[in-house]
Amino acid sequence: MRKPLSLLFVATVLSSCTMIPDTSRPDFTAAQDWNDVPGYELPVGQDLATQVHWKSFFSSPEFHLIVDTALQNNKSLQTAALTIEEARVLYRGERADLFPNVYAGGEGTIVTSSDASSSTGVSQKSKLYEANLGIASYELDLFGKIRSNNRSKINEYLASAQAHVVVRNALIAETANAYLQLLADQKLLLLTQKTLETQQNTYDILSQSLEKGVATRQAVALSSIAVETAQVNLHQYSRFVAQDKSALFLLMGIPERDGFLPAITLDDVAIKDNLNPGLPSNVLLMRPDIQQAEYELFARNADIGIARAAFLPSISLTGTYGLASQNLDDLFSSEARGAWSFFPQITIPIFQGGRNKANLDLADIRKEKAVVHYEQAIQTAFREVADELAARKTLDEQLASQQRLVAAAQEVYDITDARYQSGVDSFLDVLDAQRELYDFQQSEIQIEQQRLANLVNLYKVLGGGSNR
């Protein structure tokens, strides 16, 4: 009795071990502080992006409708969610190998011999009925091969869950930026329509003046160029608006229909602009794409344990226990006798043609690739955050300068037009001032859209949107 118990104890201890090598998170290879980013100063805000829900980040309720619709219907996000379920089911299947598969079965055997085949020269008929419980080829996990495989699958499952968060965060940012682009192009279209209307009125007046001998042909021709230029821009921005709507509805995953999009302008957009980026070593490691790379690294490390265990013996157990009787009616009665079978099997790898060694080398290579991918994910994340931080301050200053430039151009146009009406300046001066004002106004709208997009992208690259 002591020997079987001792063997059971040894098997239990061995089965709790694995051949997985020790691993640790690679060193953080980026700067230790965002102050090292040229041209950037830490903001006064106290909220980390990972602590701000996206509905709080987008204060405009119109964004809530757009983004919520995308989160509910976008096909890429739905595919990512199904990938999580696929990984979870695979993990459950691999985890089941840790436990023996128990089955119940019944069997009936009837054998009839002829006079010629019987040893007594008289035909005989024999019956045997059995009912039993059995274990189907249960492998003792002495060296942790099954547990290593289980750990690999659970980390792949966790990686797929983080991949879903990556897709979700990207979808929030892409949908918001698509909406901002639509609002910007709509504002540009409205500006172009007003400019075209003004220039068309000017052209009509000059044409009438030309007939009266007041205006010159040069002034009418220049005015015609301004009208046609505005017409070209009108068609361009009309096309952009239509394309923006198609892109936005594609992200939202619903058919395009009139009246669904809220009627707001770019000036109505309210986005939180005082995020605190925190420390790189803390914030970047919380990004879902980096966590995904980390789980993939752990999964590939567990694969090494699987490959190592393949060099060692494996023991599998198959057995049954039940009842047997010559009469079916007596199978579950006291007349039935017990019947059992036990088939232990040990397999020792001797010659595999180098297969096990190749599998181990492959597992080592894949782990090294996972390490490189993890470090690359950190470096990419740091660059993305650094770029958005550097753009944040410059875009604020650029927009302020552009607004002053528009105000100055408006004043120049007003003065030039007044001087033309008084006969001091030529109409060419008016057209030049009008063209400059229109160009500066277009640039102001584009910079305004870039500034808002920068806030959205900064929220994304700092890990914002992960909290539901």
DSSP-assigned states of every residue in 209-253: HHHTT-S-HHHHHHHHHHHHHHHHHHHHHHHHHHHHHHHHHHHHT
**179 lies in a domain?**
yes
Q: Residue 124: beta bridge partners? A: 113
pLDDT at 208: 84
Identity of residue 255: P
CB 142 within 8 A of CB 16: no
Give the pair of three-digit tokens for residue 264.
């707001």
pLDDT at 179: 94
**222 lies in a domain?**
yes
pLDDT at 400: 93
Segment 397-416, tens digit of pLDDT: 999 999 999 999 999 999 99
Q: Is the pLDDT confidence value at 354 over 90?
A: no
**76 lies in a domain?**
yes
The dihedral built from the CA positions of residue 455, 457, 463 and 465, taken in this order, carries a sign that is positive
Task: Give dist(CA 468, CA 72) in Å, integer.
Answer: 13
Q: Give the chain's domain count.
A: 1
Residue 416: CB atoms within 10 Å: 22
C-beta contacts of 81-86 below 8 A and 24+ residues apart: 81/164, 83/160, 83/163, 83/164, 84/157, 84/160, 84/161, 84/163, 84/164, 86/160
Helix, strand, coil shares, percent, the chain, to 5 = 65, 10, 25
Q: Is the pLDDT confidence value at 358 over 70?
A: yes
**169 lies in a domain?**
yes
- In sequence order, the 6+-apart residues with CB closer than 8 A to the CB of 13 are none
pLDDT at 8: 41
Segment 37-73, tens digit of pLDDT: 665 665 556 678 888 889 989 988 899 999 999 989 9
Q: Which range scores top for mean pLDDT: 10-19, 378-387, 443-452?
A: 443-452
CATH code of the domain containing 20: 1.20.1600.10
**129 lies in a domain?**
no
Structure confidence at residue 4 as a pLDDT band (50, 70, 90): very low
Average pLDDT, the chain: 79
- From 99-113, 213-227, 356-370, 437-451, the region with the lowest mean pLDDT: 99-113
Task: Give dist(CA 134, CA 237) in Å, integer.
Answer: 74
pLDDT at 219: 80
pLDDT at 330: 56
**468 lies in a domain?**
no
Give the pair of three-digit tokens for residue 282.
């803390």
Q: Which range scores top for mean pLDDT: 33-47, 244-258, 290-304?
A: 244-258
Structure confidence at residue 1 as a pLDDT band (50, 70, 90): very low
Task: Give dist(CA 349, CA 312) in Å, integer.
Answer: 7
pLDDT at 11: 46
Q: Is the pLDDT confidence value at 104 over 70?
A: no
321-332: average pLDDT: 60
Q: Is the pLDDT confidence value at 440 over 80?
A: yes
- Of residues 179 and 329, more confidence is placed in 179
Segment 119-155, tens digit of pLDDT: 666 666 666 666 666 666 666 666 777 777 778 888 8
pLDDT at 128: 63
Burial of residue 114, with CB atoms counted within 10 A of its CB: 0-12 exposed, 13-18 middle, 19 or more buried: exposed
pLDDT at 324: 63
Residue 247: CB atoms within 10 Å: 17
**219 lies in a domain?**
yes
**343 lies in a domain?**
no
pLDDT at 10: 47
Q: Is the pLDDT confidence value at 106 over 70?
A: no
Burial of residue 257, with CB atoms counted within 10 A of its CB: 0-12 exposed, 13-18 middle, 19 or more buried: exposed
* Domain range enclosing 227: 2-101+143-322+355-461
Task: Give dist(CA 423, CA 457) in Å, integer.
Answer: 51
Structure confidence at residue 278 as a pLDDT band (50, 70, 90): confident
- Of 413, 166, 182, 203, the C-alpha closest to 291 is 166
Q: Where are the beta strands (DSSP E) in 100-182?
A: 102-113, 124-140
357-376: average pLDDT: 86
358-382: average pLDDT: 86
Give the pair of three-digit tokens for residue 89.
């089911």
Q: Is the pLDDT confidence value at 21 over 80?
A: no
Spatial strand order in the sheet of 337-347: 102-113, 124-140, 314-325, 337-347
